C-alpha cells in the first residue's frame, strides 16, 4: 500500500492512500470514464457519511495504531476494487467531463486521523474530511478530494485518497463539522474523489467520516464502496458479482428495451436545454443558509400520514414520505413568504403561483430486468423528479391543503419514476443535440429534497469488525444551500432525522408558529404530581371544559397522615427512615457538596436500549430475583457518577459518604400517593409534597466496576430499598417521624444526605392530552435546561409514544469529561448536544 504521511500543526495526521496492486487480479479498468447526464444533474459537491463506533475490545484490536493500519490497508484494497473512486474528474477541450484513472491522475485518497482529548459529544463539521461543499476541479473523488469534471482513472490521474487521523484529547459529544475530511462545498479541480478522516476521542469512541465527489457517484454507489471496504476490513471474502464489471456511466444498457432512439426525447419535468452552457449554479443556491435539525418519531410520522391522507372514501393514497415532503416543503415556503425572501434566479416566479420540488430518487430498482441494483452500477442514477405544487396550498396551515400537496408529490412519483419515464430521461440525457457543448442541460427548483431513509447507515454491512456504528449522520449540514431538505432514518426505532436549510432571513420562520409555555412552582408548596394536577386543570379551563371538582382537594392542609391513619401508631417512637437524621440544632444551609459548581450532560436511551440494559443487568434466570428497567437505569447512572468522581479525584465535601465507609448512598424520589391503603390520595386529591424519598446504600466497589455482574448487585440493592421503604407501613412510619413534636420543635432539624440524588418523572406524561391548551397537546416537553441542579443529580423523563427516556445528569465540573467518556454509559445511551 503506497502512502504519504503529513502531520499538520493541529496534530491531525494525514495519509494519502492509493489502491493496492493486483491483490484481487481484477480486469484492468478503462483509463477514462465519461460522465453521464445523470451524473451532471448536480454540482461537484461531496456526499458526506459520518459513522460512530464504540472503541473495539482489546481482543479484536489491541492498539489505536493497529486499528488505523487496518483501516488504511483495507481502504487501499477497496480502492483497487472500485477504480473510479481512486481517479479524478477532468474536463477535455470540448468541455466534456470524465473520470481520469491513469497513474498521473490518481491523486490518492486523503485519510485523516484526529485523536481528540475530549469525549464524544455528537456529530460536528470538524469530523468531515472536507469542510467545503462545492468541490474544486481535480479534487480527489473520495473525501478525499473531489476530482475534476470527468473521471480520469489512468495512473497519471490517480492522486491518492487523503486519509486523516485525529486523536482527540476530549470525549465524544456528538457530530461536528470538524470530523469531516473536507469542509468546503464545491470541490476544487484535481481534488481526490474520496476523502476519509478517522477521529478517536479520549473516551475511545471512533468516528469514521468519508466524503466522495457527487459527480462520480450517488449515495447508493458510495455505500456499495463503503460496504466493500468494511467487508475487507472484517477479512471476509468479496462477492465479485456485486462489484461492477463495466465501470462506464451508461445506465441506458439496463433500459435498452425501453429506449426508442428514433424519437426525440422530451425534457423531463423541471429540466431544460440552455442555448449555451451555464456559467455557474443558480444564484439563490449560493445565498448563505441557516440550518435547523428536526426529529420525527415513528409515531409522529404515522400521525402525520393519517392527518394528511385523503378521506377514507377516496381511492387515493399517499406514503409517509409524501406527507413529510408536503409538510417540510410548506415550512420552507411559509418561512420565505413571511420573511419576504427575495426570489433570485432559479426560483419560481411570483406570478406563477406555484413552487417546485426537486426530489432525488435512486432509479436502480426500476430497471426492467432487475439487474442494476446490488452493487452492479457505479455512478449517479438519481431519477430526480419534479413536483409543481400550488403556492396557496403550501402557504396554508390546514391538513386539507397539505393533503393536496402530498397528492401532487405522489402523482409526480407515479408519472416520473416509471421505467418508461426513466428510459425517456436517459434518452434526453444522452441525445447528441443536448450534450454537444456540455453543460447545457439544466434544472431548477424552489426546494430540493434528498431522502436517505431507505438506506441503513448504521447497519451490519458497515461493521469494520468490532461492531456496527451506533450513530451515523450525513455531516453537520452547514454546507448545504438554502431550500434544501435531507432525511435519514434510524432503522431500529423508525425515527426520521431532518436537516433543513433556508435563507438566513427566513430561519426564524421555521419556528414562528411555536409557542413555549414554561411554568415553575416553589417545590416547598407541592411536588411534581401536585404541580401537574394544577397544570391539567388550567389546560382544561383553557379548553373551555367543565371541571370535575372531585379531582380538586377539598382539604388543602398538608397533612398526609390522614390518608394513612389506620397504619400510624402514635404511641410508638418513630425511627428515622434510612438516610435521615435529627440534628441537635437547625441546619444553617445545604450540604457543601450541593453548592459546588456542576456541569450538565444530557443523554437519550431508546426503548430498545432500555430493554437491553435491563436484560444485561438482571440476575441469572435460575434466580427468583427481579429488577425493573428503572432499577437497571439507576444502577448504570449512579455508577457513572461514582466512577467520574473517583477517576478525577473529586473532593468529598460535607454531605458525601466518607471514604472509609466503602459505600455510596442514593436518595431516590418517589410519589407515595398510590401507596395509600384506601387509594383515596391520588386523582388530584392531595396538593403538597408527598415524596417518599427512599435511600439505597451501595457497595462502592460495585459502582466502580464496569461489569454487568457488579451492576446487577447495584440494581438489586435499589430494588430491595424500594420493597422495604415504599410499603404503606414504611411510609406511615415516615409520616410519623416527620410529624413527631420532638423532631419538628424547633423546625429545620430533620435532614438527609446522599451521594447521588435521583428524580424519576417517567411515570408522568408531560406531553399528554391533559396538557392540551385547546390547539393540540405539546409536541415536546422538558424539565428545563438543568443548569440549576447540584452535582450528583439525575432527572429522568420519558416520551410516551416512543418509550425513549431522556436523562439530565450533573457532576462536579472536574468530573464532566469522565461522565462523557464512560464506556458502559456509551454502550446504551446517546449523548444529546443542545445548540
Q: Identify whether the C-beta of residue 488 lies closer than 8 Å to the C-beta of residue 474.
A: yes
Angle at 6 between CA 5 and CA 12, to 5 degrees: 115
How far is 268 from 153, CA to CA, in rounded Å? 31
| Strands 756-760 and 750-752, bridge-based pairing | unpaired
Residue 273, φ and ψ in degrees, nearest 5: -110, 120
Question: Based on C-alpha coordinates, what's the Rg of the chain?
Answer: 31
How far is 129 from 164, CA to CA, in rounded Å? 7
**Confidence at residue 203, expressed as pLDDT on a 0 to 100 scale:** 78
Half-sphere exposure of 181 toward its Cβ, with a 13 Å CA cutoff?
46
| Cell 414504611 found at | 730
Q: Which residues contact 188 (CB under 8 A, 6 or more apart)?
A: 135, 136, 137, 138, 139, 145, 146
State the DSSP code for 668.
E
How far is 687 from 527, CA to CA, in rounded Å? 8
Q: Could you say which residues of the chain have pLDDT below 70?
A: 1-11, 41-45, 53, 116-177, 183-186, 282, 284, 476-479, 509-518, 522, 571, 590-591, 593, 785-788, 834-835
**Confidence at residue 649, expressed as pLDDT on a 0 to 100 scale:** 93
Could you give all domains of the chain from N- to C-terminal order, each with its CATH number?
3-241 (3.30.559), 271-447 (3.30.559.10), 563-830 (3.30.559.10)
3-state secondary structure 672-737: CHHHCCCCCCCCCCCCCCCECCEEEEEEHHHHHCCCHHHHHHHHHHHHHHHHHHCCHHHHHHHHHH
The cell numbers describing 833, all together, are 448536544
**Confidence at residue 124, expressed as pLDDT on a 0 to 100 scale:** 59
How far is 227 from 453, CA to CA, in rounded Å? 17
State the DSSP code for 386.
E
How far is 825 from 820, CA to CA, in rounded Å? 8
State the DSSP code for 170.
B
| Cell 432559479 found at | 346
State the DSSP code for 232.
H
Amino acid at each position: 500500500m503506497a502512502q504519504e504521511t503529513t502531520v499538520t500543526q493541529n496534530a491531525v495526521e494525514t495519509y494519502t492512500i492509493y489502491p493496492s496492486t493486483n491483490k484481487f487480479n481484477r480486469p484492468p479498468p478503462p483509463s477514462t470514464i465519461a460522465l453521464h447526464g445523470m451524473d451532471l444533474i448536480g454540482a461537484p459537491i461531496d456526499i458526506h457519511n459520518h459513522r460512530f463506533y464504540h472503541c473495539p475490545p482489546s481482543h479484536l484490536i489491541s492498539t489505536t495504531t493497529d486499528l488505523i493500519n487496518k483501516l488504511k490497508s483495507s481502504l487501499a484494497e477497496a480502492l483497487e476494487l472500485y477504480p473510479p473512486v481512486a481517479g479524478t474528474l477532468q474536463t477535455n477541450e470540448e468541455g466534456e467531463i470524465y473520470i481520469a484513472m491513469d497513474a498521473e491522475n490518481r491523486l490518492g485518497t486523503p485519510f485523516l486521523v484526529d485523536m481528540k482529548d475530549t469525549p464524544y459529544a455528537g456529530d460536528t463539521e470538524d469530523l468531515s474530511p472536507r469542510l467545503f461543499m462545492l468541490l474544486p476541479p481535480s479534487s480527489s473523488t473520495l473525501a478525499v478530494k473531489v476530482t475534476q469534471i470527468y473521471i480520469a482513472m489512468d495512473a497519471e490521474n490517480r492522486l491518492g485518497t487523503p486519509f486523516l487521523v485525529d486523536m482527540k484529547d476530549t470525549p465524544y459529544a456528538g457530530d461536528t463539522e470538524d470530523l469531516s475530511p473536507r469542509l468546503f462545498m464545491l470541490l476544487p479541480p484535481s481534488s481526490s474523489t474520496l476523502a476519509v478522516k478517522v477521529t478517536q476521542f479520549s473516551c475511545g469512541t471512533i468516528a469514521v467520516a468519508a466524503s466522495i465527489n457527487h459527480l462520480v457517484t450517488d449515495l447508493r454507489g458510495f455505500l456499495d464502496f463503503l460496504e466493500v471496504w468494511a467487508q475487507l476490513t472484517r477479512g471476509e471474502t468479496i462477492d465479485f458479482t456485486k462489484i461492477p464489471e463495466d465501470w462506464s456511466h451508461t445506465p441506458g444498457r439496463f433500459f435498452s428495451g425501453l429506449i426508442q432512439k428514433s424519437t426525440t426525447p422530451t425534457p423531463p419535468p423541471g429540466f431544460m436545454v440552455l442555448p449555451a452552457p451555464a456559467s455557474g449554479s443558480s444564484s439563490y443556491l449560493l445565498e448563505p443558509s441557516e440550518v435547523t435539525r428536526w426529529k420525527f418519531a415513528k409515531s409522529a410520522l404515522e400521525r402525520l400520514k393519517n392527518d394528511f391522507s385523503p378521506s377514507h372514501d377516496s381511492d387515493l393514497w399517499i406514503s409517509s414520505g409524501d406527507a413529510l415532503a408536503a409538510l417540510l416543503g410548506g415550512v420552507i415556503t411559509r418561512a420565505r413568504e413571511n420573511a419576504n425572501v427575495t426570489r433570485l434566479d432559479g426560483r419560481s416566479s411570483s406570478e406563477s403561483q406555484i413552487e417546485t420540488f426537486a426530489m432525488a430518487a435512486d432509479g436502480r430498482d426500476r430497471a426492467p430486468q432487475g439487474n442494476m441494483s446490488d452493487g452492479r452500477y457505479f455512478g449517479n442514477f438519481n431519477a430526480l423528479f419534479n413536483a409543481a405544487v400550488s403556492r396557496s396550498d403550501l402557504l396554508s396551515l390546514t391538513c386539507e391543503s397539505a393533503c393536496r400537496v402530498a397528492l401532487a408529490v405522489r402523482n409526480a412519483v407515479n408519472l416520473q419514476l416509471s421505467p418508461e419515464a426513466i428510459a425517456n430521461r436517459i434518452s434526453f440525457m444522452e441525445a447528441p443535440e443536448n450534450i454537444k457543448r456540455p453543460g447545457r442541460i439544466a434544472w431548477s427548483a424552489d426546494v430540493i429534497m434528498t431522502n436517505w431513509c431507505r438506506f441503513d447507515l448504521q447497519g451490519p454491512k458497515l461493521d469494520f469488525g468490532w461492531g456496527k456504528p451506533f450513530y451515523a449522520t450525513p455531516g453537520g449540514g452547514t454546507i448545504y444551500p438554502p431550500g434544501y431538505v435531507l432525511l435519514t432514518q434510524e432503522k431500529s426505532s423508525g425515527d426520521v432525522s431532518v436537516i433543513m436549510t433556508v435563507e438566513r432571513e427566513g430561519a426564524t420562520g421555521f419556528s414562528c408558529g411555536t409557542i413555549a409555555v414554561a411554568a415553575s412552582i416553589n417545590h416547598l408548596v407541592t411536588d411534581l404530581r401536585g404541580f401537574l394536577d394544577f397544570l391539567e386543570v388550567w389546560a382544561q379551563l383553557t379548553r373551555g371544559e367543565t371541571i370535575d371538582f372531585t379531582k380538586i382537594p377539598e382539604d388543602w392542609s398538608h397533612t398526609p397522615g390522614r390518608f394513612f391513619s389506620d397504619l400510624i401508631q402514635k404511641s410508638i417512637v418513630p425511627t428515622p427512615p434510612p438516610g435521615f437524621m435529627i440534628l441537635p440544632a437547625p441546619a444553617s444551609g445545604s450540604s457543601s457538596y450541593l453548592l459546588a459548581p456542576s456541569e450538565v450532560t444530557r443523554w437519550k436511551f431508546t426503548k430498545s436500549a432500555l430493554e437491553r440494559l435491563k436484560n444485561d443487568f438482571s440476575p441469572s434466570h435460575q434466580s427468583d430475583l427481579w429488577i425493573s428497567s428503572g432499577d437497571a437505569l439507576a444502577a448504570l447512572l449512579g455508577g457513572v457518577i461514582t466512577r467520574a468522581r473517583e477517576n478525577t479525584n473529586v473532593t468529598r465535601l460535607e454531605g458525601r459518604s466518607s471514604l472509609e465507609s466503602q459505600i455510596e448512598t442514593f436518595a431516590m424520589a418517589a410519589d407515595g400517593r398510590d401507596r395509600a391503603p384506601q387509594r383515596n390520595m391520588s386523582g388530584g386529591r392531595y396538593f403538597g409534597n408527598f415524596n417518599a424519598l427512599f435511600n439505597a446504600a451501595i457497595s462502592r466497589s460495585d459502582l466502580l466496576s464496569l461489569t454487568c455482574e457488579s451492576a446487577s448487585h447495584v440494581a438489586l440493592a435499589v430494588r430491595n430499598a424500594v420493597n422495604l421503604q415504599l410499603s404503606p407501613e414504611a411510609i406511615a412510619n415516615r409520616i410519623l417521624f416527620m410529624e413527631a413534636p420532638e423532631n419538628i420543635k424547633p423546625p429545620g432539624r430533620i435532614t438527609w444526605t446522599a451521594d447521588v440524588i435521583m428524580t424519576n418523572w417517567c411515570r408522568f406524561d408531560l406531553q399528554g392530552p391533559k396538557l392540551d391548551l385547546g390547539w393540540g397537546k405539546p409536541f415536546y416537553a422538558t424539565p428545563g435546561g438543568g443548569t440549576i441542579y447540584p452535582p450528583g443529580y439525575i432527572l429522568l423523563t420519558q416520551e410516551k409514544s416512543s418509550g425513549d427516556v431522556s436523562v439530565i445528569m450533573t457532576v462536579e465540573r472536574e468530573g464532566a469529561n469522565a461522565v462523557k467518556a464512560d464506556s458502559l454509559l456509551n454502550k446504551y445511551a446517546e449523548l444529546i448536544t443542545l445548540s
